[in-house]
Structure 1
């Protein structure tokens, strides 16, 4: 059974759209997004463009949908879809809950709201080597000492936690995390404090915007961000997408749900590799493939063989 995983902000790298396979399905997906947004999506993956969360979020969703469509065109359809943060929008398109044009317009609105709320001075840090409980305890201690709070944004793995906050709060927290035994405490290439209550107002605005977008019950399984469980109704997927910017993303729980539902092969959409690494470490018997690591169009043949149980 195949599951597609769609990475979130931080996975981007300059030129990644132009490294996608040269295939008509991928080209038409980029063109469709450009038409829906009335802009040239192919120009959004430059180093300069990717300084904006708007460009990053749009291009990640486009790349994810392009991968899903390329596999379908080759006769390979995923049974489960899960995306981390903005990757959830590609997952919602992949499972058939929302039209692609509506998804990229909603993503553009999402990113604009996030940037408008926090144009500078905020972001995310990845903490490796501490558990969620240890991070929470350290957050309380750091807030008491510094007066500024950070928030648990993502639980990517049992000892890979992402926190959100201001630049000053993150700098203080990273220093304390290192002293507390973290293997690494590093700022991510994200310029907004995602997945915490700082974005409550922006989330409420996006939820009101999304009320006018048509959502269908998914044709295949969609795994939500907030509770890491399968969502079977279009309105539940709408809420998951619109509100995931203000709630902790429990990615490791979502991965566990995917495995419990019978997935034997997971493929991470471009340009990500982190979700693949997490899956390989946590579930060694699971075949985990990062699409970005395959040159040209070789991924299709590899996925077809692995889903069929062949080496």
Structure 2
């Protein structure tokens, strides 16, 4: 029975999410390390206008994920595998031992800035729940065009999808999804059209810069969400980190792969519980908990109980 750590992506953030991290020495040390690397007070990244910045949000998510994973490791809770959604892949890679924390922070900062530069205004993402994939694809196909680009960006579950594109296209997609009977169709707190060809230029620039960053073979099994495959060497991890921003997230397939490899207990790193809820709806037999509201000691006790014969 294996333990997996899940690391959320942009959209999971909420005001004060870094301030709600566990009161633990490993968290304090991680915040101090991140501040030294970035040259700023990391606890400002989850406040006010900072939450409107792709750079602040993606950096903050990386810090939160690594801090929580380190606190768990200090309590003896170490995963057999990890997976991160979108930018969550960076915290997953740090936890897997594939990239240093400082290098990950610098790459995430560069990634976010390239994304903002690629589409500085008038773009975003929409979550659609309650429609089959073929219906969502039909909506995208009917709307997409040169003046109103729209793409299927995340395949999070059998009826859980995210679209990326221009504001006008997203507005039309929301209306079309609601008319088609979607349970939910609404904008996400993401100001860039992630996981779509609109990010091809940003991905190419990031990939070129990532070549100079040391990346190692993961010591802990790591699942990439670009191809929903185990990343078994440094080259695979580097490709995932540098280019997943321009490719659809195959999150549902990624979780299914972890289950096939024995994952039975899934802990979601802060912030939020989006991935926990997605997993519960598709894999009700798994034990899934979000670290928001759960202390490292509580997580250790939970894992111990589940693992008891």
User: 2:213 matched to which residue of 1?
Assistant: 213
Q: Quick check: 1:268–1:276 contact (8 Å CA) kept in 2?
A: yes
- SS of the equivalent of 1:48 reads helix
1:16 and 2:17 correspond? yes
With over 3 angstroms needed to count, the CA separation of the structure-2 counterparts of 1:264 and 1:141, relative to structure 1, is same
How far apart are 1:147 and its partner, in Å? 5.0
Query: Which residue in the other structure is 1:260 paired with?
Result: 260
CA–CA distance in structure 2, aligned partners of residues 309 and 251 of structure 1: 29
Answer whether contact 2:153 2:249 (CA < 8 A) is retained: yes
Distance 2:123 2:190 in 1: 8
1:285 Cα offset (Å): 1.3
Q: Please state whether the residue corresponding to 1:301 is helix, strand or coil.
A: helix
The equivalences for 1:75-224 within 5 A come to: 75-143=76-144, 148-224=148-224
Distance 2:92 2:300 in 1: 22
- Displacement, 1:305? 2.1
Tell me the CA shift for residue 123 of structure 1: 0.4
- Specify the SS of the correspondent of 1:96: coil
What is the distance in 2 between the residues matched to 1:5 and 1:148? 33
- Residue in 1 that maps onto 2:303: 304
Structure 1 unaligned blocks of 5 or more:
none
Residue by residue, what CA displacement relative to the aligned partner does 1:261-305 show, whole Å, maximum 9, x if unpaired? 0011000011121100111111111000000032x5453333332
Q: Deviations over 1:219-275 (max 9, x none)?
A: 010100111110101111001111011000000000001111001100001112110
Question: Secondary structure of 2:19's partner?
Answer: helix
Number of equivalenced pairs? 308
Residue pairs, 1:22-33, within 5 angstroms: 22-33=23-34
Deviations 1:184-215 (A, max 9, x none): 11000000000000000000000001000000
Deviation at 1:119, TM superposition (A): 1.5
Alpha-carbon distance between aligned partners in 2 of 1:52 and 1:268, rounded to the nearest angstrom = 23
Q: Distance in 2 between matches of 1:143 and 1:89?
A: 31
Q: Is the 8 A contact 1:12 1:60 kept in 2?
A: yes
Post-superposition offset of 1:162: 0.1
RMSD (Å) for aligned C-alpha atoms: 1.4
Residues 70-94 of structure 1: CA deviation (Å, up to 9, x unaligned): 1111111101000000000001001
Cα distance in structure 2, aligned partners of 1:177 and 1:72 = 43
2:289 matched to which residue of 1? 289
Q: Distance in 2 between matches of 1:26 and 1:307?
A: 25
After superposing on structure 2, the runs of 4+ consecutive aligned residues of structure 1 that deviate more than 4 Å are none
Alpha carbons of structure 1 residues 162 and 88: separation in structure 2 relative to 1, 3 Å: same
Are the aligned partners of 1:291 and 1:299 in contact in 2 as well (CA < 8 Å)? no
Residues 128-174 of structure 1: CA deviation (Å, up to 9, x unaligned): 11122211111111237x95231011011110100000111100111
Q: Distance in 1 between matches of 2:282 and 2:220?
A: 24
Aligned equivalents of 2:308 and 2:126: distance in 1? 38
CA distance 1:70–1:307, shift in 2 (3 Å): farther
CA distance in 2, matches of 1:188, 1:27: 30
Kept in 1, the 8 Å contact 2:75–2:297? The answer is no
- State TM-score, norm by structure 1: 0.96
Contact 2:72 2:300 in 1 (8 A): no
Shift of 1:177: 1.0
> What is the CA–CA distance in structure 1 between the aligned matches of 2:141 and 2:305, rounded to whole Å?
46
Aligned-pair CA distance for 1:307: 4.6
Which is further off, 121-130 or 133-142? 133-142
Q: SS in structure 2 opposite 1:244?
A: helix
